[in-house]
Structure formats: C-alpha cells, structure tokens
Structure 1
Amino acid sequence: MASGKLSPRQKMINLMYLVFIAMLAMNMSKEVLSAFGFMNEKLVENNLTATQKNTQTLSNLATKAQEQPEKYGDLYQKANTINQLSKDFTSYLESKKAFFLEKQEDPKNYESMDQSNLVDEHFFANDKFTEEGQEFLDQINGYKDEVVSILGENNPLSAVIKKRFDTSDQKKGAGTQPWLNNRYEGFPLISTVTNLTSMQMDVKTTESEIYSSLLGGQLESDVSMSNYKTILIPEKSAFFQGENFKGKVVLGRYDASLQPSEVIVNGKTITKIEDGGAVLDFPAGSVGEREVKGKFVFIENGEPVEIAINSSYAVIPKPNSAVISADKMNVVYRGVPNPMTISIPGIPDNLVKATAPGLNSVSGSGKYVMTPGSGREVTIKVSGTLPNGQSVSSSQNFRIKDIPSPQGTIRKESGHVVMPKSSLENATVGVQLPDFDFDLKLSTTGFTLKVPGQGAVVVRGNKMNSAAKKSIAKAKRGDVVTIFDIKSSLVGNSGYKIKNASPVSVEIQ
C-alpha cells in the first residue's frame, strides 16, 4: 500500500486501513482474555460441584467405617489422608490466585488482565526461579509424590496422576524449556488464574478417582442406588382372573455383610442366613391363606433393635388342566420328528395319556415325538387321573408347517460370492437351513448353472460336470455366474419333497 507515488487522499485511506487492522487485532486479543475469564468461571463452578460430591462420598465412607470397621476402617483412613492432602494443596493454589488478583479493582474485568509482569516477577528472577516459584513447583511435586506413595507404584492410577501433575522440562522448538517458564512466563494474568483453577479441578478429579480406586467398587455398591432392588408388595397373595392387581413397588437395600443376631419366623429360630436374608424352608400347609410372622433382631449401639416380619402367602389346590409344550417351538414341522413334553401338574407321568395322529411316546417320563402327516393342524388330547381318582382332560391344537425353503451355497457361502474360475469349477454346491431349530441334513441332488452369454447347463449332483466346467471356462472377469433351481433331498427321509433352494451368484475374479 505504501509503494510508488501516492496522493494525499490515498495515503489517508492506507492509514485508515492500518488503524482498522490494528483495532481488529486489539479486539481479538480482548476476546481471548474474556474467553479465559469465562472458562475460569466455569471451572470454579465445576470445582464446587466436585467438592460437594467428594465430601458426600467421604462422609458415607466414614459412616460405613463406624458401622463396619473391619470392612471399611483401613479404606477410610487412606481416603481421609488423601482428602487432607487435597485440601491443603487446593488451599495453597487458592492463595496464589488471591495474591495475583488482590490489586484488581474488578476481578471480572478480564480484558484488563493482559499484563504478565506480576506473575513473571513473582515466579522468576533473571534466569532462575524465585523462592515463590520454587515453592510452587515443590507444592505440585509434593502432592503428586505423597498421593502416589499412598496408592503404590503398581496402582494403574499412579501413572495417571504422575502425568497429570508432571513438571518436567517441556519441548520448545528444537530444545526444551523448564515447565514453569513454559506454562507461566510471559502469559496474561487471566491465563495464569485459569491455569491455577484448572489445577484445582485436577485435584478434585484425582480425589474422586482415588476413592473409587481404593474401594474397588465396594463403596459404590454399598452406598449408591445400585445396591437397591425393587420389591413388589401385592395387596394380597393371590388374585382371581378378571380382578385388578393392587399393590405397590418399593425399594429395598440388600447388604450381604449385615448379619442379624437373631431371626424368628412362626415361633422358630432361623439359623441359615444368606446374602443378608433368612432362608425359609418349611411345609406350605393346607389350602388357604397362611401367615408368616416373626422378627429380625439386630444389635445397634449395644441395644437390640427388632424389625417385625408380618406377611402371608396363599396355598392353592393342585391344577387340573394339562400343560403341553413343544420343546423346539410353538408349531410342529412335517417331515421331521418333533420332540415334545406332555404332562399334567400334580399327576405322575405314568398316569398321563396323550393321543394324536403321528404322536408316539419315547419314554415313561412324558417325552413324545410328533411326526405329523397331511393337513395344516393337529390336535393333541391329554387325560390323567388325580391322586383322589378324579379324571381330568385337556387338548391343544398345533399348527403343522412344512420345512422352509433352504438357501443355496457355493463353498458353504450363500448370496453373492466372489471367486476365480478355477475355484468355481471345483466348488461344491450345497444347501442350508439358517436359523432353523432342527438339525437336519440335506443332500444336493442337482442344479442349473448360467454363465453370461452362454446357455444354461443342468447338472445332477453337487459338483460341476464337464459341460458346466466348459461354460465356466468362457466366463470373463467381472461376469456374474448364477446357480439356481437348486434341488435337494432330506437325508433319512427321501420321500419328503424339499422346496428348491434360493439361488447363488458368483462374481468371477
């Protein structure tokens, strides 16, 4: 803009451009300073939240340590030591922030905190550190070393903490620079304040991570909501069909380590305790509503504390209808033996009789095999004799389905396959039934092969014949050879007609 002869008007315009660019640079610098200030505010808020969370966690652990010292005593001592170290270091960092900001008329006027001389004079003297600068480094390294000492060098968290509070020399250009110079010398005041707040956040994070690491998940299991389970409390123990269910769902907390001093149920002392609960095992009793009453007794502050047990359950008569289920699915398939279990609750299997076309008993324990014939549905009729001599009967309809169409395969791959001509000539054409619950063996009896530009070749068996190989030899790279009309038979039941398998396409490499 300043080269050559310029008119006074042009010189004025150029000068205005320079002033404008300088103003933009100043505004950008002010915006950056404000950004540091706003970041510092956010970090301060996060630190407050983290402090509350850590305090609550430590308080819960203290309560647990008092109630169960064998389980939580040592853990609480370590956590408490970590907490005190973190408090001391955080307070030291806060004192540094207060020192740097004490002469600021408005601590939120971030755009005025662009000077670096206050920090530089506090931490550096010529090419050395001041006493305050060396103390700052010692505080960081001291906190790091003491925390790692408590955790132990083999704790995975120790390596994270060492890296988080690393004060070793930093790379700068082709050489290195001391960490303190690299992070604080010549930087605006607001960036230093933000860095100190960020380090406080690192302390809070470290404290939280250490609590979890020390407890190994025990604290979270014992004091968090994850240790609660839902308990359904119905209004009554049994409901009739057509009634509305009435009751409530509550949260109950289980603690396997909490042992009662005594449990009494229906006048008897229960001695078997598992996972914090008393295990009950007694005759159900006669039909009707039966009560369960008693108490849990715990010792708290040297005094017995009783928790009442007051519940009930219903005893219902033995059922008089059959339960019929297909072991594999809710239908029976034609052409294969379908295993079934047939029984009537409350009646021995030898007093239960099941009949249906194609149904045969294979053992005396309610096991049957259904081999359906023609039609789309079969009815299984079941009868039995109750212990009192009364006869009961029931029936159930089952749908009859054909075996689904299989998928064609080439070299045991289905759909679209890529291979060279030489591999295709020697490949085996097969069939499979994916996601079919029965383990059936199918044998390929024939197929048709079509090469682009060639006539279709019909092949018997599962391997390429000479005509098919001759046709494949004329295929070009990129051609898609189609294998279709794939026929197969069911091994062991050649009389059942299997549907043609889906085609396979082979792209020649």
Structure 2
Amino acid sequence: AVNLRFQTGDEKGKVEKRDGTKQDWINYHYEGYPLVASLAKLTALQADVKATEEDALKSMLEGELTNQVSLKNFATSLMASKSAFYSGEKYDGKIIISKTDKSSTPVRAELTLDGRKLSEGKDYAFEAGGIKMLISAGSPGDHEVAGTMYFMQDGEEIPVEVKNSFATISKPNAALIAADKMNVVYRGVANPMSISIPGIPDNKVSASAPGLTKRSASKYVMNPGKGRTVKIIASGVLPDGQRISTPAEFRIKDIPRPAGSIRGESGSAKMGKKNLEIATVGALLEDFDFDLNLKVSGFKFKVPGQPTVSVNGNKLDSRAKSALRRARRGDAVQIFDVNAYITNNKSYKLKKVSPVIIELTN
C-alpha cells in the first residue's frame, strides 16, 4: 500500500509518456499544469501520508494488544478466605489468573509484617507478576502483611494496597501418649501441666480451673484445693473464628504417707548409741513423683523400760540421750509421732509419719 501510494517512477525517477519517451516524475505531474490542478495533487499526497500513518499505527497497536492479552503472559493462583481449613468444612477458594510479564512487575514496595518494616532483597523480592516473600513463617499465631506496592503506568507510579494474613501453627514434634486412668493431681503440690489444642496457636488457647495458673505459652501449674476431683476446661479459637471448649477431669489425691527415717534409713535400722545420739531424724516420700523438701520439727523417742521423751527439732536432746544411755545392746528403740512439714508449703498437713525402729548394736 505504501509503494502504490508513493510511487515516483522507476528506479531513476522516470515516468514513461504516451509517445514512449521518459520524463522526470515531478515534471510529468506538475510541469505545464494549472495551479489548481497541482494543489489538488499536493492535497491528495498529504491525505495519503495521513492514511499511511493511521494504517501503521493501527497495525502496531493491534500487535501490542495481541501481545498484552495473550494467555501466554498469564499464570493461575489459588485464593481462599483463609490459609487453613478443617475436615468437614466447605472450601471457598477460587482459581484466579494474573499477568506474569515484565510490564506487571512492581517498581517498588513499602511492606510490613505485623507492623515490622520489611526490606527488599532480605524479606521480599520483585518478580514478574508480583512480589515473592522471603520471610519465615514466624511464631505460632496469625500474621499480617500490609503496605503498598507500586506499578508504572503512563510514566506515573500507581499504588496498589496490600493487606493479607496467614496463620502459623506449631509443628508436631512428638507423639501424644497418655494413661487414661492416671489423670491425677496432688494436693499440696504445684503440679506442672501442658495444655494445648492441635491446630490452634498457644496465644489463642486458654484454660481455666480452680487453682490453675498460667506460666508461659502452653505451660500451667495446678494447685488443687478441696474436693476429690477438679475439671479443667481448655478453650480456643479456630482460624474461622469458631470457639471450641474441651473439659478434662482430674482426680485429686493427697500426698502419700511419709516414712520416718534416721540417718536416711526408713522403717528399721541398726546402729550404735553414739551414732544414734548424733543422727538426724527425717521424713521421706518414697517412690513419689515430686521431689519435696520435708523437714522435721519434733518427734517422740521411746527406750524400752523408760518413759517416752518428746523432742523438739530433728536430733536427740539431752533427755532423749539420757534415756538412750540406759538402753542395753539389742534393745529396739522407737522414734514415732514425727512432726514433718513441706518447707515451701507449711500450711499443708501431711499424713501421719510412719515410725522408725532402731536396733542398738552396743
């Protein structure tokens, strides 16, 4: 079309006349013609130039438009109302398409994670079609990425708001094994407990019960009071906002009966008088799961044929030693009615301490 509109003769610029001779193209069209005819030809030439410009521009735009809308420049992604779903829930996600060519790459961004400013290269990177996040999942709980990313359009930066969230849950690293008949807490003891709900971050789990105190994250301490049972209720909020509560009942037991001891030996022992005079009377909780520190504030001491002596403290006093000197070899002396207490919980009344029998070896 361009060659036809702007043909100016042969390669030498000549046009063949009717008589067979050749003449320059400009002389052939304009020499010897009236002014009006020459102006008409120039106007037609101008019209051809404009028509050619329009055809060229149309052709270029059609190619660019085809390139822009080509499905080769798009990719699919999955979008849903939340990042995690539970069994039985209806999945509300949808598949969307987005451009992935260089024209849809942001030129800059201002992003934050839970209010903390993110840095390009360290926390995110630009790529065709958007921004690739390089952050870690972080601690369990909900996290929000917010801010603005900017695209170039007609020489101007166009802002696009960013406000998305994701949830992080604790990674399972151990099996849960429990003895169904051993849900027991002890009165008078700070019973450590771990309370959590699978799939819910610790900061969205709460637990309540008489005597229950939270220490940190999923760690609690139970100090049971009166009664034979205590019910602990654990509550949490699922990612969809639904609140769940789960009760668990524990039996309350008293601290078992302590055993009286002498020189660290309980039940019965053999020793000489001199050793007994300097030995320490104590109380032991044998095979008990908690390491409690027990102290003795007093006890009774009995030598066969002698009056019972009441002693304050955890060693024989002068009256008990005097009675001991009257004992004979082979006699069995008794330490009983031992008064013991828990050093960090003196208000708790222990069960009666079992006695100690000492056989004298001299």
Normalization by structure 1: what TM-score? 0.36
More helix by share: 1
Normalization by structure 2: what TM-score? 0.50
More strand by share: 2
- Higher relative contact order at CA 8 Å, sep ≥6: structure 1 or structure 2? 2
